[in-house]
A and B are shown apart, each in its own frame.
Chain A
């Protein structure tokens, strides 16, 4: 009885994987648990083990080739399926065997993007191409509709949008997306170094662009005084380092405070599907990890609300290590409900990050450093050096409004500044 080895499911949205290398060859005896092959998806690179023992009879997808999740990549043990009899014809220059083609249920590729509505203000109809151009270039549809109606027309098409784009600047600070036709020949390359994006970066790029295009981002920032936390941090630093082997940073404190603040503002920890907000009972906290400028992954700490500062520090450390060594598993990348993007190391003041759909918000933390601040004392107000840092939140304005987000940030600030953080470390580092 032969066993088929399938391309495994490696994450919620992963549809296919590329086999980077085979560790065994056809004819090798395989024991259950042996490493069989290494696969790369848009999220991870991972080694797959054999779940049965037997002889590796067939490799159907070679190194370098891509296969869909669930496709048979190899056969272990048993007889090879009976081969068809050879063709009787004299012509033996048989046509080369066709490579696996499309998914049988996706012979035609429906685009994943969605742009603005087909009907505009005043029942104006908008062509699909016009809708795309309007969304990609942030053209003011209200103005367009008014212009068209004034001329007695009822339709916004490409010509209308392009002439509007030519005569006025884009209405927001965001740069317009490039409008490259999908099937046109690529622009002539510049005479400099070409950096080709790898699979992870390409897929990340697509996702980022999609999230940016479809979610109305609003960014708010608040300044937080980290002096109290800094005091606790420095006090516990050595014991923590000795106990856990890595250094205690601000991030686990911020993560803890975020989990606590979410209890009072649960709408920031939710999923939005276009019509309703599903609040999540737990906080699965995504932590953005930069892979040495070679892509971005956001592994998830599950049920983060149950962890202490130390617990969060350890969990995040583990995930970051796995991410940097390419060992994240599918469970590490799925189920996130809120994310944190930590940019402090680079010294920036604030960052407006891109939301990870279907989440509705993401927190950014930037440089925390000594800055002059006004401190109120019973004796009066004085300027003093304090550890100050900006916390920013990008949120999906469809899910909730600015007042709610601001209140959340305010609550977060309050927790970070006024909570007794020493208690977190009472008794143990």
Chain B
């Protein structure tokens, strides 16, 4: 069984292609995704491979993109819709918050919406406040949708496949600053499971849960914590916010007694707040100290590179916080 090194963006292409190969009902629409191969070059080659009927460029019409994806899904297709920057979800949020998420419930199960909304999420690319936000938490809050945010190329493919095959609407947050990163990907068809977290580094002194871009930073921090401070951290890539793999997280924290979250979203109502709340409730008696969230401060993001880098949690900031809290 062969293994290759693949970039995160090439993994996006491979994941979409894998599913479009498998099922003729999988179609793909979005702005500049076809002939141009996507503004992040994350869909290069799909138009050539699958043709203009299956890979369709749209006008700049986010509401029409999601609305059409929903209508097509309700009546028999399995569309993938791109919303170029996750910030733009705010433009078409009616479809996430009010339409797709509530359809199956309000119609008493008569209609479903098997749509994948893939979107370029997160900061670090100096795009400024309206093109850099980390908004997984916006979508986590709505009952009826599912939310994933892969951190590695192999997870991109596996979770894309799982999302396309899932009969519910799934928001697939790709991270813009991860597109260039590389990782090992085995050959063949890869299908993962929504609602599963991964323990990427086993450890006994504390549990660090992270998502997307924060995952490699948490791993880097864990290595430093071990080599320089004698702290053995367990690092969990949450991967899926809804459904949430609470069992893996609870199992880890009941073992280590300490929890830290590393979240790129601004502080208030970030995804880690919900996890902190569940842990503080269900395994209160396994906690040996306060749960600490390491987040971007509650501010819009600046464009200037040194300021943006300061705002997002860095490996150094993670090391510093964990060390100070554990040694206190």
Indicate which residue in B112, B167, B254, B278 contacts A182 across the interface (CB closer than 8 Å).
Answer: B254
Q: Say yes or no: B282 contacts A181, CB within 8 Å.
A: no
Given A108-B281, A111-B285, A182-B283, residue A90 in contact with residue B250 (CB < 8 A): no
Q: B282 touching A110 by the CB < 8 A rule? A: yes
Interface membership of chain B positions 67-93, coded 1 if the CB is closer than 8 angstroms to chain A and 0 otherwise? 000000001100000000000000000
Return the chain A residue nearest B73 by Cβ: A89
Complex: how many Å from CA A361 to CA B279? 36
Q: Is B25 an interface residue (CB 8 A)?
A: yes
Which residues of chain B are within 8 angstroms of A90 by Cβ–Cβ distance? 25, 76
Of the stretches B34-42, B118-126, B215-223, B286-294, the one at the interface is: B286-294
Q: How far is the CA of A87 from the CA of B74 in the complex (A)?
A: 9
Residues of chain A lying within 8 A (CB to CB) of residue B287 = 127-129
Out of A84, A111, A130, name the residue touching B108 (CB < 8 Å). Answer: A84
Complex Cα–Cα for A131 and B288 (A) = 9
In the complex formed, the residue of B with least CB distance to A89 is B76
Q: Interface 1/0s, chain A 128-158, versus B by CB < 8 A?
A: 1111100000000000000000000000011
In the bound complex, what is the Cα–Cα distance between A183 and B278 (angstroms)? 15
Q: Say yes or no: is A113 at the interface (Cβ < 8 Å to chain B).
A: yes
New A-B pairs, 10, CB < 8 Å, besides A113-B285, A184-B254:
A127-B287, A128-B285, A129-B285, A129-B287, A131-B285, A132-B285, A157-B289, A158-B257, A183-B251, A183-B255
Q: Which residues of B contact A111 (CB under 8 A)?
A: 282-285
B255/A181 in contact, CB under 8 A: yes
Q: Is A190 an interface position by the 8 A CB rule?
A: no
The 0/1 profile, CB within 8 Å of B marked 1, for residues 98-133 of chain A is: 000000000011110101000000000001111110
Instruction: Give min CB distance, B141 to chain A, whole Å.
Output: 14
User: A84 and B110 in contact (CB under 8 A), knowing A89-B76, A111-B282?
Assistant: yes
The distance in angstroms between the C-alpha atoms of A151 and B287, with both chains bound, is 23
**Distance in angstroms between the alpha carbons of A183 and B253 in the assembled complex:** 9
Residues of A close to B107: CB separation below 8 A: 84
Interface residues of B in 235-283 (CB under 8 A from A): 247, 250-251, 254-255, 257, 277-278, 281-283
Q: Mark B34-73, 1 if CB is under 8 A from A, else 0.
A: 0000000000000000000000000000000000000000
A182 to B284, CA, bound (A): 12
> Does B2 sit at the interface, judged by CB under 8 A?
no
Query: Chain B nearest CB: distance from A95 CB in Å?
Result: 6
- Can you pick out 10 interface pairs between chain A and chain B where the beta carbons lie within 8 Å of each other? A84-B107, A94-B167, A108-B277, A108-B278, A109-B282, A111-B282, A128-B286, A158-B257, A182-B254, A182-B286
Q: Given that A158-B288, A182-B286, A183-B247 are contacting pairs, would A85 and B255 also be in contact in the complex, using a CB cutoff of 8 Å?
A: no
Interface flag for B188 (CB, 8 Å): no
Q: Which chain A residues (330-372) contact chain B, with CB distance < 8 Å?
A: none
| Number of A-B residue pairs at CB separation under 8 A | 67
Q: A90-B25, A108-B278 are in contact. Are A184 and B255 (CB under 8 A)?
A: yes
A380 at the A/B interface (Cβ < 8 Å)?
A: no
> Which residue of A95, A113, A157 is within 8 Å of B167 (Cβ)?
A95
Which A residue's beta carbon lies closest to that of B168?
A95
Complex contact A108–B112 (CB within 8 A):
no
Q: Are A110 and B281 closer than 8 Å at their CB atoms?
A: yes
CB neighbours of B284 from chain A (8 A): 111, 128
Measured between alpha carbons, how far is A183 from B279 in the docked complex, in Å?
13
Are A183 and B112 in contact, CB atoms less than 8 angstroms apart? no
Q: Tell me the bound Cα distance from A108 to B244 in angstroms.
A: 12
Give Cα A94–Cα B277 distance, bound, in whole angstroms.
Answer: 34
CB neighbours (8 Å) of B277 from chain A are 108
Looking at the assembled complex, report how far the CB atom of B288 sits from the nearest CB atom of chain A, in whole angstroms. 4
Q: Check B250–A183 contact: CB distance below 8 A.
A: yes
Cα of A129 to Cα of B206 in the assembled complex, Å: 14
A245 contacts B by Cβ under 8 Å = no
With a CB–CB cut-off of 8 A, which chain B residues contact A130? Answer: 288
Q: Tell me if B257 and A129 are in contact (CB < 8 A).
A: yes
Given contacts A95-B167, A183-B255, contact A84 B282 (CB under 8 A): no
Q: Report chain A residues within 8 Å CB of B257.
A: 129, 158
Q: Does A427 contact B (CB under 8 A)?
A: no
B108 — which chain A residues lie within 8 A by C-beta? Answer: 84
Q: In whole angstroms, what is the CA distance A88 to B25 when docked?
A: 14
In angstroms, how far is the closest chain A Cβ from the Cβ of B205? Answer: 11
B residues less than 8 Å from A88 (CB atoms): 75-76
Question: How many angstroms from the CA of A95 to the CA of B166 in the assembled complex?
Answer: 9
Residues of A within 8 A of B255 (CB): 181, 183-184
Least Cβ distance of B202 to chain A in Å? 13
Partner of A181, one of B247, B286, B289: B286
CB-CB under 8 A from A127, the residues of chain B are 287-289
* Nearest chain A CB to B10 CB, angstrom units: 29
- A131: B residues at CB distance < 8 A: 285
A183 to B254, CA, bound (A): 7
Whose C-beta in chain A lies nearest to the C-beta of B279? Answer: A108
State how many angstroms separate the Cβ of A81 from the closest Cβ of chain B: 10
Docked complex Cα distance between A113 and B282 (Å): 11
Docked-complex contact B288 and A157, CB < 8 angstroms: yes
